[in-house]
Structure 1
Amino acid sequence: MKAVEYRSFGGPEVLELIDMPKPVPVHGEVLVRVGAIGLNFFEVLMRQDRYAATPDLPLVPGVEVAGIVEALGEGVKTPAVGTRVAVPMFAFGRGAGGCAEYVAIDADALAPIPDDVSLEVATALMIQGLTALHLVRKSNPRGKTVLVTAAAGGVGSLLVQLAKQAGAKTVIALAGGSEKVAFARALGADLPIDYQVADWQAALGQHLARGQVETIYDMVGGPFTKSALGVLAQGGELVFGAMGRFELEAADVEQMLTGNQSLRGFALLPLLTPSSLTADLGDLFRRVGDGRLKVYVGGRFPLTQAAEAHRAMETRSTTGKIVLVP
């Protein structure tokens, strides 16, 4: 079968298409024919060796897959061959291996995909959908003015919608460029702001008094975090989930302390259990099925163009979810 692999860290060009043996499901496993592979920004960071953890090489990336059950290993009765399934490999200790035509995975690690949800959309509801869902649970936006970073991206586009559904008073959506600002507005954002303007905080200040943002959901990190603190209210909360890109210094944290502000870390994996994972994915699938949640697949690339897909995400030239299709 075909798979994507990299043997050294670097730019998108380190991704290579290789041939490797088709996996055989062992006891308790199923073989899934991959139909769509989700791409996430942390995988770009891993490829660059800029993530919080350095993976062993060589590596076949990919941690979220949607596909069709093709064969059952010994002892497995369900799901039946032909079932459409989500494969959240990241939640079951499989930190890689999804960028391939087939994967073998524990039968208990699968979630059925309803017929009214496409395989491509299902990939967006794993890491990114679960992240957005748990963000609004951990830091309830009800009645608050909240700010969502990268609002045209995979997590951000879902978070804008879920925050509104959870009762946020005002959802401020930061997005880069006029097209992405328009996209965020179409998602239901109350106040989309272009963070590429010279002083986006001043642009925000034309609509809100300084310090009215009660919660910032920051999945971007880097130097952006410090600039975002300038709009956070006294007693406000910064929810930070950009692993590997925390650049606040001691003076910034001290400033937060004097403002009675709080910094809440967010990591998805510790929040997941096998039972809650299935239930939460089912919740997200139902929201898509009944039209409450819109998922935008902004880029589809064949497996042979994995480098181009990484390059598009790395340059932030995409909107919504990026998928690879074998």
Structure 2
Amino acid sequence: MKAAQIDRFGGPEVFSIVEIPRPEPAPGQVLVKTAACGVNFAETSLRQNNFLVTPSLPTILGSEVVGTVEKLGEGVDGIRVGDRVVAALFVDGTRNGGYAEYTVAKQDFVLPIPDDISFEDACAVTVQGLTGHYITTVHPPRDRRVLVTAAAGGVGGMLVQFARLHGAHTIIGAVGSEARFGAVKELGASDVVNYNEPGWEDALRAATGGLGPDLVYDSVGGEVFDTNLAMLSEHGKLVFYGSNNLKGDSISSDQMRMMNLRNLTVASFGIQGQLSRERLRSGLTEIFSLLREGSIRPRIAGRYPLEEVGEAHRALEARGTLGKVLLIP
């Protein structure tokens, strides 16, 4: 089978398309023929060895796969050959990657896709939908003035929609270009600001009636994180997530004093720590239900053949995508 593999860390050019044997499912595992694989920003950090864990090389990246069950390992029940499924590779612990024509996954983390949901939509709401769902569950936005950074991206777009569903008072999307304003407003944001515009904090202050946000969901980090923290209202909370916030930035002593004086909270969120087998299944069941009733709408930013995986990573790193990036083997 074909797979996109890396044998060294670095830029998107480190990918090579290789022919390797098709994997065989071990007991308790399922072999899936890939229809689509999600590409996530965390994988660009893994490719550069700039994430929480260091992959063993050579490796195949890819955190989520949708496709058709090809073969069952011994002892698998409740799943049949030919079933349409999603495989949540990011929590199954086997470190099998999805950038390939086939992959294997533990049966506990392989779930059926309803017949009326497309492969692409199911893939778009797996990692990113679950992240949006559980961040807004753990850190609820109800009746709060909410700021979502990178609001035009896959997770950011989901956070805007889940904040709306969970009763946020106001939702402000922060993006890096005015060209994205319309797309974010379509998802339910009441206002949008450009964090690459000098003095953007004035626009944020105006969007919150001069009070600042009560709750920030931030995946950008760096100077944007610093501005968000400074702009929080009294008793406000900043939740940071995503690989951009894992690059060695630290909270200064001045920021700590400000947090103490204004009773601010900074919290982190990682989706892997949220997902047992039961929470994965209950979360995706709820998300599929919201998808079917039209309460959330995934946006597909681009579809790339396996051979163009490097281009898919470049598009993500350029922050030029609106929604979910997919590989189609």
TM range (shorter): over 0.9
Contact residue 309 and residue 327 of structure 2 kept, 8 A: yes
Which amino acid is 1:110 matched to?
V
Q: Secondary structure at the match of 1:135?
A: helix
Residue 324 of structure 2 is matched in structure 1 by 321
Which amino acid is 1:303 matched to?
L
Q: Secondary structure at the match of 2:75?
A: coil
Which amino acid is 1:166 matched to?
H
Contact residue 204 and residue 212 of structure 2 kept, 8 A: no
Instruction: Kindly provide the CA deviation profile for residues 232-256 of structure 1, in whole angstroms up to 9, marking residues without a partner as x.
Output: 1011001111341352332223321
Q: Distance in 2 between matches of 1:245 and 1:133?
A: 25
Q: 1:57 to 1:182 in 2, by over 3 A?
A: same
Q: Distance in 2 between matches of 1:229 and 1:197?
A: 18
Contact residue 96 and residue 104 of structure 2 kept, 8 A: no
Residue 293 of structure 2 is matched in structure 1 by 290
Which amino acid is 1:68 matched to?
T
TM-score normalized by the length of structure 2: 0.95
Residue 260 of structure 2 is matched in structure 1 by 257
Q: 1:205 to 1:304 in 2, by over 3 A?
A: same
Q: Percent identity?
A: 39
Q: Distance in 2 between matches of 1:54 and 1:42?
A: 12
| CA RMSD between the two structures | 1.4
Instruction: Kindly provide the CA deviation profile for residues 190-209 of structure 1, in whole angstroms up to 9, marking residues without a partner as x.
Output: 11112221121112223334
Alignment coverage as a number of residue pairs: 326
| 1:212 has 2:215 as partner | no
Q: Secondary structure at the match of 2:222?
A: coil
Instruction: Kindly provide the CA deviation profile for residues 79-127 of structure 1, in whole angstroms up to 9, marking residues without a partner as x.
Output: 1111110100111113342111001222222111112211112122221
Residue 16 of structure 1 is matched in structure 2 by 16
Residue 267 of structure 1 is matched in structure 2 by 270
Q: Distance in 2 between matches of 1:107 and 1:208?
A: 46
Q: Secondary structure at the match of 1:85?
A: strand
Q: Distance in 1 between matches of 2:291 and 2:116?
A: 8
Structure 2: tracts of 5 or more residues without a match: none
TM-score normalized by the length of structure 1: 0.96
Q: CA deviation at 1:278?
A: 0.7
Q: Secondary structure at the match of 1:233?
A: coil
Which amino acid is 1:134 matched to?
Y
Structure 1: tracts of 5 or more residues without a match: none
Q: CA deviation at 1:29?
A: 1.7
Runs ≥4 in structure 1, deviation > 6 angstroms? none
Residue 247 of structure 1 is matched in structure 2 by 249
Q: CA deviation at 1:186?
A: 0.7
